[in-house]
Chain A
């Protein structure tokens, strides 16, 4: 079963708009929540990450919001740009094997 559920599967946003991607997890032993950005033909690259002791982390135009009680976290991309068009994966690290579980991914398209 998928331990990290990600939505939406795809997202189209106008340039300058806000892109929001949501993830939910089941295992309360997860203790590190990264977001990865992947361009076609490339490996995923770490974008931003958060630990459950904070509710929000911001780096430039990218913000993670974290709701521990709801077991949900989201990525907000402010002022979205065509160069942000990529697939985004949320992940959760920890648990029995202390490994990383990924969401299914969101393909973001930012229209000029």
Chain B
């Protein structure tokens, strides 16, 4: 099993550009989520999905879109990048929604200039 795979690992964007961060898991997990990690802030939930076709907003959803067409994939789209979106982004998945072992990807370091 590869676990949770994120691409790309690094990305530099100009303000106003859009891009998609890819996330795939091969553990057949129903629950997937996206977090951003900023110094002194821990990890904050952006969006999550409890299954294919179902998504919902987390704590900091503004400026991001998600979709879940398959169990395996959960891409995160930045619509119009802003410097405030400079962060490290982590995708995560778990079997249970109600609390259980959560697996994280290696992260994507995004810089918006």
Contacts and interface: CB of A to CB of B under 8 A. Distances in A.
A45 interface: yes
Contacts of A103: 42
Interface residues of B, number: 26
Interface residues of A, number: 28
Contact of B58 (A45, A89, A97): A97
A10 to B, nearest CB: 11
A104 B59 CA distance: 15
A99 B45 contact: yes
Contact of A89 (B43, B59, B99, B100): B43
A61 interface: no
A40 to B, nearest CB: 11
Contacts of A73: none
B74 interface: no
5 contacts: A32-B98, A34-B99, A94-B98, A97-B48, A102-B42
Interface of B: 4, 33, 35, 40-45, 48, 56, 58-59, 90, 92, 97-107
Given A41-B106, A44-B104, A100-B102, 10 more contacts: A4-B42, A31-B99, A34-B99, A41-B107, A45-B104, A51-B99, A97-B56, A98-B97, A102-B42, A102-B43
Q: List 9 tightest A-B contacts by C-beta distance, closest first.
A: A32-B99, A43-B104, A102-B42, A93-B99, A102-B43, A104-B42, A44-B104, A99-B45, A46-B101
